[in-house]
Amino acid sequence: RLLLENAEQLVLVCGRREPYLRREGAAGLAVLRGASLVVGLDGCIKAVGQADVIRNQFSEATFERIIDCSGKCVLPGLVDAHTHPVWAGDRVHEFAMKLAGASYMEIHQAGGGIHFTVEHTRKATEDELFTTFQHRLERMLRAGSTLVECKSGYGLNLETELKMLRVIERAKKSMDIGISSTYCGAHAVPKGKTATEATDDIINNHLPKLKELKLSGEIHVNNIDVFCEKGVFDLESTRRILQAGKDIGLQINFHGDELHPMKSAELGAELGARAISHLEEVSDEGIVAMARAKCAAVLLPTTAYMLRLKQPQARKMLEEGVIVALGSDFNPNAYCFSMPMVMHLACVNMKMSMNEALAAATINAAYALGKSDTHGSLEVGKQGDLLIINSSRWEHLIYQFGGHEALINYVIVKGKVIYENERCKTMSSY
């Protein structure tokens, strides 16, 4: 058992088992002062409340660990709702091209972008991919992420896609971080194929194999993703792939309306998608449809920042009642592990409030992955995933741009301290 005692601020995020927070709910995040929290041996939260009440309630109990949180804040572990973390090859040279004015599609057409990564990922062994993936996940953990969505998508053939999914499965079993896995075989059209041929291959070969591996217990995939984009997969191909994925029990969670308006949001709402990512070019009708369908918008401020695209319309979505979540979009094109930095960019560039950004990186990101019943807030019965920050106000996690390395004191998963930051003993966070 773990006892966190006497936190200056205990940020519950939700207090009434809400599966998500829309704008008005996020405005009044649940925060307790001078509070304590208990995690049981099963890794779930047993009690949350005022420090003296918890002390009396558990006066007879013995704890494996007690952490004095005086002058510190406790928050739910962060949830990163969109990443591409399994790949080989480095695209730092493309960053220079982008800075010199090349667009995403120009790099893509010159054999760079996704195709460059595909070439290197196909050549890499499963062990090589696993080693780099493990290091990336460790960096995400140290930046406060305790649940991460991880996509395949740099194989574009069945063999490599399965290799990536096996790597993700290995990490699920061997690491403490929570993982929601996504099959993203429709990330780009493979060289030598048309979009229609690629679509047929995915529906006739890839998805039946995934179903077979799921039944045998070898690979458990949670979500299906397609890059619905002009010159990649059109609306009809996207519909066919997503529907076929849904038919084998996968949640729909896809890339839409990023570079061109494609009516992806309308399609997602119609198909019962759990979430759609990007949405820089979403239509007004698409926003309304997503709000109605309770389809989460996973916004990626790093992508718009690094590609110098127009920012997603976070304010309009929030005002229309869309469930807004955040992701880092970690990939060779947007190399960012840090959800605190993502929240900061969301506030500055997308005009979200700090409360909205925290809700988007906790309960709403968990909702986008179908996990908000167990993750995303500090409530009794939920998994004991949390952060302790070395500051008396939780907002420092967002306010200090790039400051999380000296600010996050502990990262805890299922009540177990996974990361303890020695710097916090010697440094004040201010």
**Percent of the chain topping pLDDT 70:** 99
**Residues 337 and 385 occupy one common structural domain:** no
What span, in angstroms and rounded, lies between the C-alpha atoms of 122 and 84? 15
**Residues 179 and 194 occupy one common structural domain:** yes
pLDDT at 312: 96
**Residues 53 and 147 occupy one common structural domain:** no
**Residues 107 and 12 occupy one common structural domain:** no
> Residue 429 — pLDDT band, cuts 50, 70, 90?
low
- Work out how many domains the chain is built from and give that number: 2
Query: At residue 430, does pLDDT exceed 70?
Result: no
The CB density around residue 131, as the number of other CB atoms within 10 Å, is: 13
**Residues 59 and 186 occupy one common structural domain:** no
> Residue 426 — pLDDT band, cuts 50, 70, 90?
low
What pTM, to 2 d.p., does this model score? 0.97
Domain interval for residue 20: 2-76+377-426
Query: At residue 343, does pLDDT exceed 70?
Result: yes
CATH code, domain carrying 406: 2.30.40.10
The CB density around residue 78, as the number of other CB atoms within 10 Å, is: 33
- pLDDT 10s digits, 209-259: 999 999 999 999 999 999 999 999 999 999 999 999 999 999 999 999 999
**Residues 71 and 99 occupy one common structural domain:** no
Q: Which residues of 86-123 are buried (b: 16+ CB within 10 A; e: fewer)?
A: bbbeebeebeeebeeeeebeebbeeebbbbbbbeebbe
- Select from 320, 347, 369 the last residue of a domain: 369
pLDDT at 427: 62
CATH code, domain carrying 195: 3.20.20.140
- Select from 331, 346, 369 the last residue of a domain: 369
Task: Give the pair of three-digit tokens for residue 350.
Answer: 């997308």
Query: At residue 428, does pLDDT exceed 80?
Result: no
> Residue 204 — pLDDT band, cuts 50, 70, 90?
very high
**Residues 71 and 133 occupy one common structural domain:** no
What span, in angstroms and rounded, lies between the C-alpha atoms of 182 and 110? 27
**Residues 410 and 363 occupy one common structural domain:** no
**Residues 156 and 211 occupy one common structural domain:** yes
**Residues 197 and 85 occupy one common structural domain:** yes
- pLDDT 10s digits, 48-77: 999 999 999 999 999 999 999 999 999 999
- Select from 369, 388, 409 the last residue of a domain: 369
**Residues 182 and 247 occupy one common structural domain:** yes
What span, in angstroms and rounded, lies between the C-alpha atoms of 173 and 158? 22
pLDDT at 104: 81
- pLDDT 10s digits, 304-336: 999 888 999 999 999 999 999 999 999 999 999
**Percent of the chain topping pLDDT 90:** 90
- pLDDT 10s digits, 6-32: 999 999 999 999 999 999 888 889 999
Average pLDDT, the chain: 96
Task: Provide the edge-to-edge strand list for the sheet that holds 178-186.
Answer: 78-80, 145-151, 178-186, 223-228, 251-256, 275-278, 296-299, 324-326
CB 37 within 8 A of CB 378: yes
Query: At residue 163, does pLDDT exceed 80?
Result: yes
Looking at residues 277-290, what average pLDDT do you find? 98
- pLDDT 10s digits, 380-412: 999 999 999 999 999 999 999 999 999 999 999
Looking at residues 366-381, what average pLDDT do you find? 98
What span, in angstroms and rounded, lies between the C-alpha atoms of 161 and 87? 11
Looking at residues 91-105, what average pLDDT do you find? 88
pLDDT at 160: 98
Query: At residue 283, does pLDDT exceed 70?
Result: yes
C-alpha distances (whole Å) from 154 to each of 161, 239, 279, 286 are 7, 21, 22, 29
What span, in angstroms and rounded, lies between the C-alpha atoms of 183 and 30? 35
**Residues 358 and 391 occupy one common structural domain:** no
